């Protein structure tokens, strides 16, 4: 698996979180045949309900939110299990078409499973698409990419607002209220939550605002309330652990004596002197100037999961040797770097970053291997539009009594273990599942995770568990 673009949307597509094909054809409430992983099909129901686009604005329009319900096979189903996709920008219905589909099916033995498309995603997306920019791509340095994205986002915000879109309603607090409205729409007293990455960030907002209506939560690849922007030093610690894995392969170790040092050299050289690269795109030539920041962004995607993490040494060895053409498979849709879709950017801006954490990120980014590229376009979009930040009360940690099953992979480069530990500390009644050598997409990484999820949502006691997968085999050529 390769990442065909550095954009968030491409990252979501590459990890199985894209908009499902059935969504384009099925727009009515009622029974559907849902096509899941590897052409498996199952009976399901599609439903809709309406909410204000911004509950704080009486004049905002009402929008229709979509979900797919996989009915329970249990004689006495428990509370519905609502799946919260990551991103922000991933779709729950899209996730259900990918390798997580067997888990959706397995959980039906416990309760109805609800694949809920969050506002701004899938069939719940009511933000008009932007026409593709015809302007030449900027030099792909930090300064060039940041300036273009800020400009495009500000223009888009003006256009969407003029079209009647309540853009300030796209935040994790409104989404949390959507989920409670979904609960009422389903006619149940409580729901359970199952989410990953940004989905865990949203789940925390649900627990803060509507915790008395949530029975259990199973969350993976945790992202806390003040962790929209990950700390660069935590990524350095992760890359040091990855570098240690090369010791098991003498050939790889000989080729790459120090992986973080190699990465730093490549980033510094290309950011100072961007390299030209011409790509054939749809019968035309696309001329790029590749800076170090673009490579840092690319690496931020590759480190998410072991199959792509394994590419890192060989890719950086080629770049140090001047073989920039090696980037072609990754950058075939480089225009995605400046693609603006609305929901992801607005959500991240609203969740924001506390002043203290921002100072820490800025300080650490000056020397970190990936700088501040991992969560682009945050914090780079800060201040681009006014009055969107949800504030310190939103980001404040809390003490959570809800029973929780927390799942993590030791090679998750998107939500580092040190950051996840801070979130886990907020749960007073939790069991943890650690999958050695799994990455960000940990739910489907090990077959025993599915059984643990079923047992947990059934109400059985699940002890702290450690599972193991083989380490990645790194490529150096």
Predicted confidence (pLDDT) per residue in 117-151, tens digit? 999 999 999 999 988 888 888 999 999 999 999 99
For residue range 71-113, list pLDDT tens digits in order: 999 999 999 999 999 999 999 999 999 999 999 999 999 999 9
Asked if residue 140 and residue 101 are part of one domain, the reply reads: no
Band of the pLDDT at 461, cuts 50, 70, 90? very high
For residue range 20-49, list pLDDT tens digits in order: 434 434 467 899 999 999 989 999 999 999
What residue numbers bound the domain in which 344 lies? 135-162+229-365
The pair of structure tokens assigned to 198 is 């940004």
Other beta carbons within 10 Å of 412 = 28
Length in residues, the chain: 477
Residue 43: what pLDDT? 94
Spatial CB neighbours of 80, under 8 Å, sequence gap ≥ 6: 69, 111, 112, 113, 114, 183, 186, 188, 191, 192
For residue range 394-441, list pLDDT tens digits in order: 999 999 999 999 999 999 999 999 999 999 999 999 999 999 999 999
Asked if residue 140 and residue 36 are part of one domain, the reply reads: no
Q: Is the pLDDT of residue 9 over 90?
A: no
Asked if residue 260 and residue 151 are part of one domain, the reply reads: yes
Residue 436 vs residues 413, 440, 448: alpha-carbon distances, Å? 13, 12, 13
Asked if residue 144 and residue 102 are part of one domain, the reply reads: no
Residue 24: what pLDDT? 36
In a domain, 317, yes or no: yes
Residue from 160, 142, 36, 45 nearest 99 by CA: 36
User: How far is the C-alpha of 405 from the C-alpha of 222, rounded, in Å?
Assistant: 11
Asked if residue 259 and residue 192 are part of one domain, the reply reads: no
Comparing 109-123, 131-145, 192-206, 238-252, which segment has the lowest mean pLDDT?
131-145
In a domain, 150, yes or no: yes
For residue range 282-335, list pLDDT tens digits in order: 778 888 999 999 999 999 999 999 999 999 999 999 999 999 999 988 886 555
DSSP-H helix ranges across 211-342: 232-245, 250-255, 259-272, 292-302, 306-309, 312-320
Output the average pLDDT for the chain.
92
Q: Is the pLDDT of residue 199 over 80?
A: yes
In a domain, 249, yes or no: yes
Q: How many domains does the chain have?
A: 2
Q: Which of 365, 384, 419 is the last residue of a domain?
A: 365
Q: Is the pLDDT of residue 275 over 50?
A: yes
Residue 15: what pLDDT? 33
**Per-residue b/e over 446-466, b at no fewer than 16 CB within 10 Å?**
beebbebbbebbeeeebeebe
Q: Percentage of the chain with pLDDT > 70?
A: 93
In a domain, 302, yes or no: yes
Q: Is the pLDDT of residue 188 over 50?
A: yes
Asked if residue 204 and residue 55 are part of one domain, the reply reads: yes
Q: Percentage of the chain with pLDDT > 90?
A: 87
Q: Is the pLDDT of residue 13 over 90?
A: no
* CATH number of the domain to which 411 belongs: 3.40.50.1820
Please give the average per-residue pLDDT across 9-28, as a whole number. Answer: 41
Residue 332: what pLDDT? 63
Residue 336: what pLDDT? 62
Asked if residue 245 and residue 295 are part of one domain, the reply reads: yes
In a domain, 383, yes or no: no
Asked if residue 261 and residue 219 are part of one domain, the reply reads: no
The pair of structure tokens assigned to 12 is 């979501």
Cα 227 to chain center, whole Å?
Answer: 12
Asked if residue 401 and residue 329 are part of one domain, the reply reads: no
In a domain, 370, yes or no: no
What global pTM score does this model have? 0.94
In a domain, 278, yes or no: yes
Residue 455 vs residues 450, 462, 464: alpha-carbon distances, Å? 9, 7, 13
In a domain, 401, yes or no: yes
Q: Is the pLDDT of residue 4 over 90?
A: no
Residue 27: what pLDDT? 64
Residue 335: what pLDDT? 52
Asked if residue 408 and residue 314 are part of one domain, the reply reads: no
Asked if residue 293 and residue 151 are part of one domain, the reply reads: yes
Residue 132: what pLDDT? 80
Q: Which of 323, 344, 365 is the last residue of a domain?
A: 365
Spatial CB neighbours of 432, under 8 Å, sequence gap ≥ 6: 405, 406, 407, 408, 424, 464, 465
Asked if residue 124 and residue 43 are part of one domain, the reply reads: yes
């Amino acid at each position: 698996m390769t990442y065909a673009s550095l954009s968030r949307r491409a990252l979501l597509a590459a990890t199985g979180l894209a908009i499902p094909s059935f969504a384009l054809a099925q727009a009515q409430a009622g029974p559907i045949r849902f096509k899941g992983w590897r052409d498996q099909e199952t009976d399901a129901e599609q439903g809709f309900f309406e909410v204000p686009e911004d509950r704080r604005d009486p004049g905002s329009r009402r929008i229709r939110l979509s979900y797919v319900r996989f009915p329970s096979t249990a004689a006495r189903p428990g509370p519905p299990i609502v799946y919260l996709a990551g991103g922000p920008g991933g779709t729950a219905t899209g996730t259900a078409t990918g390798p997580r589909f067997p888990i959706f099916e397995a959980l039906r033995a416990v309760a109805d499973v609800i694949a809920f498309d969050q506002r701004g995603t899938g069939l719940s997306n009511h933000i008009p698409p932007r026409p593709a920019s015809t302007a030449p791509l900027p030099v792909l340095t930090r300064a060039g990419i940041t300036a273009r994205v800020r400009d495009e986002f500000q223009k888009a915000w003006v256009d969407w607002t003029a079209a009647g879109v309540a853009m300030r309603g796209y935040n994790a607090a409104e989404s949390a209220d959507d989920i409670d409205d979904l609960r009422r729409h389903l006619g149940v007293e409580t729901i359970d939550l199952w989410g990953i990455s940004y989905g865990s960030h949203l789940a925390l907002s649900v627990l803060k605002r509507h915790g008395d209506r949530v029975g259990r939560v199973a969350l993976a690849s945790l992202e806390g309330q003040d962790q929209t922007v990950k700390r660069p030093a935590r990524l350095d610690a992760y890359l040091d652990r990855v570098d240690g894995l090369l010791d098991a392969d003498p050939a790889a170790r000989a080729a790459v004596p120090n992986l973080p040092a190699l990465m730093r050299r490549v980033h510094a050289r290309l950011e100072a002197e961007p390299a030209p690269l011409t790509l054939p795109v749809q019968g035309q030539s696309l001329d790029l100037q590749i800076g170090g920041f673009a490579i840092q962004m690319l690496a931020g995607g590759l480190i998410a999961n072991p199959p792509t993490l394994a590419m890192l040494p060989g890719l950086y060895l080629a770049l140090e040797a001047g073989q920039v053409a090696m980037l072609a498979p990754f950058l075939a849709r480089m225009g995605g770097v400046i693609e603006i879709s609305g929901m992801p950017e607005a959500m991240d801006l609203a969740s924001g970053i506390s002043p203290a954490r921002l100072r820490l990120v800025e300080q650490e980014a000056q020397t970190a291997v990936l700088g501040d590229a991992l969560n682009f376009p945050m914090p780079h979009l800060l201040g681009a539009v006014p009055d969107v930040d949800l504030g310190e009360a939103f980001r404040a940690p809390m003490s959570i009594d809800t029973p929780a099953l927390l799942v993590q992979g030791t090679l998750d480069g998107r939500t580092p273990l040190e950051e996840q530990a801070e979130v886990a500390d907020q749960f007073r009644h939790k069991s943890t599942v650690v999958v050695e050598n799994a990455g960000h997409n940990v739910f489907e990484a090990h077959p025993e995770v599915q059984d643990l999820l079923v047992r947990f949502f059934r109400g059985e006691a699940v002890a702290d568990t450690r599972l193991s997968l083989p380490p990645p085999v790194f490529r150096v050529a």
